[in-house]
A and B are shown apart, each in its own frame.
Chain A
Amino acid sequence: MKMKKFINNPENLAVELLEGMAAAYADKIKLEDGKIVARAKPKAQDKVAVITLGGAGHEPALSGFVGEGMLDASVVGDIFAAPNAPAVLNALRKFKRDAGILLVVLNHAGDVMSSNMAMKMAQREGIKVKPVLVAEDISAGLDAPKADRRGLAGCIPLIKVAGAAAEEGKSLDEVCRIAESFNSKIATLAVAMTGCTHPQNGTPISELADDEMEIGMGQHGEGGGGRTKILTADETAKTMFKNLAKALGVKSGDRLFVIINGTGASSPMELAVVFRAVKKCAEEIGAAVAGGIIDELLTVQEMAGYQMILCVLDAESEKYLKAKSNAPYWTCLGE
């Protein structure tokens, strides 16, 4: 099948990309046991460790956010496939500590299965670990149960908030509470103009007609159902913002943090135009955009589109969101 990508043997893709990242940012991150990305300088043992797991192919997420103030480690599976339970257990053993471990799990079937099995085995060994499930995608509908919602790029600000709280020395219960509180104030919706190809087998995922776009597209190209003819940046952003604001119950006076996360093939130019539209939408309902990011944090190969992430801030989350981090791909905020 025709696929234009700079790759070698597809079977080695996940390891090779992690080796590349670790080589480029060797002062910040290192690769352990094949596919665990950890901090070059480990955090003190008396602080809560924050770990996540997930498939590769979404770079820089999740491993690009390992660093001071964010993750202690990310456990990587294969392209678009969760790491297996023994791999997650191995990471939990490595980071075993009295302070405990927060495991950030994105709501995808494979990730949830592996983390549940690994946590069960870890707890049997006396490892203190608590999960936080990110399921902030609203494309399944505003009344959809959490189990039916996917975890999208909203995991990145959540990792930022939880990571900063852990760095500050908060207890596991406190870090959990702070993470869950922020978790309930994030919502994400994605839009795609094109599908993408699976980089290991060249399979086209979710093909869209030349004049179509789809609101609700997931991060492996799974559809969300909202196919329409292509709309302008403002029209698209308005539709998405309206649903996100409704999901979060945004009201006049709220302070919002907005992320426009490019999924691979939409230019920074387009993403900036979208951000402008979101700011206008927020102002129309009396809410303020107190900060934001235009970047590629979590990508879907060469998919054209973006994920719009809305976070309703409070004093606590704003402080942690804006705290310093040296994670290689968290380049936007902090003094």
Chain B
Amino acid sequence: MQNLNLESLKKMFALAASTISENEAELCRLDAACGDGDHGVAIKGALCAAHEALQSAADLKNGICDAGFAAMSNSNGSTSSIYGSLLMGVSDGVKDGAESLSAEELASAFQAGLDSMRATVKGDVGDKTVFDALIPAIEAMRGANSVSELFERAAAAAKKGAESTRNLRARFGRAHNLAEKSVGTLDPGAVSNAMIF
């Protein structure tokens, strides 16, 4: 895929929603190690709502914004704010009426999404949160020659980032109170992010 259009975006969200749904129990199990065991439910709620909102979208910019608002409105806890602000920020980075996005345009839209999310959500690489997967994924998008390559690079970087959380000590969210105990477990938010890419 050279460029991204609305139809292919819809397919990607359908795939992401079904992957997350299949892994709901596994994500809850990961979360129970250092959280309260509900991450699978929250991320499934957010992704399924985003997917549904996108199906009735007529264009890319508004579709992504609606998906973000739906993710925020149909889930609870941090997950709703994280994915809601990310998608709504990505939408801000897409031109009005754009019918398709080149790899370069998509990478800069994701960067806008990340910037907007970071205005609300604290954290950085190394804090054992979703950022450990998301930041390297968005950085890896830069310089991709096609949209397919962009998502391949992002997926690989997100997966590597999620794996890296195993040896980190949590600094944010509920898990940070478990401090040393969190070392040795994967961060569920980072893992679900890697699944989405």
Question: Chain A interface (Cβ within 8 Å of chain B)?
Answer: 55, 77-87, 108-110, 113-114, 116-117, 120, 139-140, 147-148, 150, 198, 200-201, 203-205, 218, 220-225
Taking a contact as CB atoms under 8 Å apart, the answer to whether A148 and B176 are in contact is yes
Q: How far is the CB of B49 from chain A (nearest CB, A)?
A: 10
B77 touches A55 (CB 8 A): yes
Residue among B37, B175, B178 with the highest chain A CB neighbour number at 10 A: B37
Which A residues lie within 8 Å of B77 (CB)? 55, 77-78, 80-82, 110
Stretch at the interface among B80-88, B107-115, B144-152: B80-88
Q: Are A205 and B76 in contact (CB under 8 A)?
A: no
* Residue among A108, A116, A117 having the largest count of chain B Cβ atoms under 10 Å: A117
Cβ–Cβ < 8 Å partners of A113 in chain B: 78, 81-82, 120-121
Could you tell me if A84 and B76 are in contact, using CB atoms closer than 8 angstroms?
Answer: yes
A contact residues around B69 at 8 Å (CB) = 86
Give 4 A-B pairs besides A84-B74, A84-B81, A84-B84 with Cβ atoms closer than 8 angstroms. Answer: A114-B81, A116-B120, A201-B38, A204-B32
* Nearest-CB residue, chain A, relative to B77: A81
Q: Which residues of B contact A198 (CB under 8 A)?
A: 32, 36-38
Residues on A with C-beta less than 8 A from B41 are: 200-201
Chain B: CB-nearest residue to A218: B177
Query: A79–B172 contact, CB under 8 A?
Result: no
Cα of A147 to Cα of B173 in the assembled complex, Å: 11
A-B contact pairs, 10 of them (CB 8 A): A80-B77, A109-B173, A113-B78, A114-B80, A148-B176, A200-B41, A201-B37, A204-B32, A222-B175, A223-B177
- Interface residue B73 (Cβ < 8 Å from any Cβ of A): yes
Taking a contact as CB atoms under 8 Å apart, the answer to whether A203 and B177 are in contact is: no
Which residues of A lie under 8 Å from residue B73 when comparing CB positions?
Answer: 84, 86-87
Q: Is there a chain A Cβ closer than 8 Å to B95's Cβ?
A: no
Q: Does B190 contact A (CB under 8 A)?
A: no
Q: Which residues of A contact B90 (CB under 8 A)?
A: none
Give bound CA distance, A221 to B85, whole Å.
28
By a CB distance below 8 angstroms, the chain A residues around B162 are none
Given A148-B176, A222-B175, A223-B177, is A85 in contact with B78 using a C-beta cutoff of 8 Å?
Answer: no
Tell me if A200 and B38 are in contact (CB < 8 A).
yes
Q: A81-B77, A110-B76, A117-B85 are in contact. Are A223 and B181 (CB under 8 A)?
A: yes
B47 at interface by CB-CB < 8 Å: no
Closest Cβ–Cβ distance, residue A217 to chain B (whole Å): 9
Candidate in A84, A87, A198 with the most chain B CB atoms within 10 angstroms = A84
In residues 65-105 of chain B, which contact A (Cβ within 8 Å)? 69, 72-78, 80-82, 84-85
Determine the residue in chain B with the shortest Cβ distance to A196. Answer: B36
Q: How far is the CA of A80 from the CA of B77 in the complex (A)?
A: 8
**Complex Cα gap A86–B70 (Å):** 10
Once the chains are docked, how many angstroms separate the CA of A218 from the CA of B174?
9
Q: B179 within 8 Å of A by Cβ?
A: yes
Q: Count B-side interface residues using an 8 Å CB cutoff.
A: 34
* Contact across chains for A81 and B38 when beta carbons are under 8 A apart: yes
A115 to B36, CA, bound (A): 21
User: Which of B28, B173, B178 contacts A201, CB < 8 Å?
Assistant: B28
With A and B bound together, what is the CA distance between A87 and B80 in angstroms?
Answer: 11
Q: Chain B contacts of A203 at CB under 8 A?
A: 28, 32, 36-38
Chain A residues with CB under 8 Å of B175's CB are 222
- At the interface, yes or no: B42 with Cβ under 8 Å from chain A? yes
User: Which chain A residues border B36 with CB–CB below 8 Å?
Assistant: 80, 198, 203, 205, 220-221
Contact with A along B5-37 (1 / 0, CB 8 A): 000000000000000000000001000100111
Distance A77 CA – B80 CA, assembled complex (angstroms): 11
Complex partner residue of B177 from A81, A110, A120, A224, CB under 8 angstroms: A224
Which chain A residue lies CB-closest to B170?
Answer: A222
The chain A residue sitting closest to B40, CB to CB, is A201
- Please give, as numbers and ranges, the residues of chain B lying within 8 Å of A218 by CB-CB distance: 174, 177
Interchain nearest-CB distance for A207 vs B (Å) = 11
Tell me the minimal C-beta distance from B42 to chain A in angstroms: 7
Min C-beta distance of A206 to chain B, whole Å: 8
CB proximity of B189 to chain A, nearest CB, Å = 10
**Residue from B42, B80, B181 in contact with A85 in the complex, judged by beta carbons closer than 8 Å:** B80
**Alpha-carbon distance between A20 and B69 when the two chains are bound, in angstroms:** 30
Most buried by B among A109, A140, A150, A223: A109
A109→B28 contact, CB < 8 A: no
Contact status B76-A85, CB under 8 Å: no
Would you give the shortest CB distance from B50 to chain A, in whole angstroms? 13
Known A201-B28, A203-B28; contact A222-B72, beta-carbon cutoff 8 A: no
